[in-house]
Amino acid sequence: MSAIEVERLSHVYAGAEGGVPALEDISLKVEAGKFVVIVGPSGCGKTSLLMMLAGLRHQTTGTILCDGRPITDPDPSRVGVVFQEASLFPWLSALDNTEFPLALRGDPREERRRRAEAMLNLVGLQGFGARFPHELSGGMKQRVSIARGLVQDPPVLLMDEPFAALDEQTRMTMGHELLRIWSQTRKTVVFITHSLTEAVYLADEVLVMSPRPGRIVDRITIDLPRPRTYEMMATDTFGKLRERIWQQIRKPEGAH
């Protein structure tokens, strides 16, 4: 059974002059444990698609199944979400931020402490639980966000350009760290990015979306061996894969 199954999903925004088509006839399957990256030009609706996978927004037509059951509302036990920067609550410590979903669910205090601490350890932040977000670097904040996304142990983790606001070096390190966390937890990951290098480096499969209305115009299997290393970025295969994605994205509208 696929971890995620999207069946003929379309979305139309209510605009001033009638509906604006945003997503058109999207179907996709993500096998459990796979790392899928979605790339596409700005405004192609990839974030909207992710929000729908998270149950945070409703599509006009089509269905989304996660673990075989439809997603209609947010369900953090099935789907964890990691947003762009600044999504931590600034009035909570790193530990309290991580526990947040468990606190909403009303888990006993001891239990959720233990679980949140384990998650902070997993993302490499042991000993930083008492720090507040303004006392953490950009990369550390995103580590906390990942810990929070994983704290309910959902099979699926959705990530919306989580490293876009980080500097290049931190971004590379975080990508590498994410792969380590992924290989330890074996989650199904759907990851959105603008960076083609990041896409090829992280993914098992890259889905390329067209400009609005967003459609999936190419699926590229990334057959680079795992674990991935920084050296692979300099190889021909890496360059060719990156080039193929770039060719798809730069195609003018209507050429697909």
Partner 1 sequence: MTQAQIIAARLALLAAVLAAWALLPKYGVLDPRLLPALGDVLEMLVKQLGRPLVHEAIGVTALEVIVAFVIAVPLGAAIGVAAAEFEYFGQIFKPMLFYVFSVPKSIFLPMFILVFGIGFPQKVAYAAFSTVFIVIMSATAAVESVKADHVLVARSCGATRAQILLRVYVPSMFPVLLEALRISMIFNFTGVMIAEMYASRTGIGHLIANWGENYQMPELFAGVILLAVVAICFNEAVRALEARVSKWRT
Contact 215, 209 (CB under 8 A): yes
Distances (CA, A) of 251 to 40, 184, 209, 233, 240: 11, 38, 11, 24, 17
Among 47, 59, 87, 195, binds partner 1 (CB under 8 A): 87
Window of 58-66, 86-94, 113-121, 177-185 that interacts with partner 1 by CB under 8 A: 86-94
Among 8, 72, 104, 229, binds partner 1 (CB under 8 A): 104
- Under rule CB under 8 A, residue 191 binds partner 1: no
CB of 56 to partner 1, least distance (A): 6
76 binds partner 1 (CB under 8 A): yes
Cis peptide before 213 (omega within 30 of 0): yes
Residue 175 lies near partner 1 (rule: CB under 8 A): no
Smallest distance from partner 1 to CB 131, Å: 11
Contact flags string 118-147 toward partner 1, x per CB under 8 A? --------------xxx-------------
Residue among 101, 188, 199, 183 nearest 144 (CA): 101
Cβ proximity of 38 and 48 under 8 Å:
no
Asked if 105 interacts with partner 1 (CB under 8 A), we say: yes
* Between 103 and 233, CB nearer to partner 1: 103
**Pair of tokens at residue 157:** 């983790």
Q: Is 89 in the site for partner 1 (CB under 8 A)?
A: yes
User: Of 46, 148, 212, 215, which lies in the binding site for partner 1, with binding defined by CB under 8 A?
Assistant: 148
Q: Which is nearer to partner 1, 192 or 245 (CB)?
A: 192
Contact call for residue 240 and partner 1 (CB under 8 A): no
Give which of 201, 138, 192 is closest to 160, Cα–Cα. 192
Distance CA 7, CA 59 (A): 11
Question: Is the Cβ of residue 132 or residue 197 nearer to partner 1 in the bound state?
Answer: 132
Q: Which residue has the tokens 């209609």?
A: 72
- Whether residue 162 is preceded by a cis peptide bond, meaning omega within 30 degrees of 0, is no
Cα–Cα dist 8/64, whole Å: 9
Q: What is the DSSP letter of 25?
A: E
Residue 185 near residue 122 (C-beta atoms within 8 A): yes
Closest distance of CB 15 from partner 1, Å: 18
Q: Which is nearer to partner 1, 55 or 214 (CB)?
A: 55
Q: Which residues of the shown chain bind partner 1 in the complex (CB under 8 A)?
A: 54, 56, 74-77, 81, 83, 86-87, 89-91, 100-101, 103-105, 132-134, 148
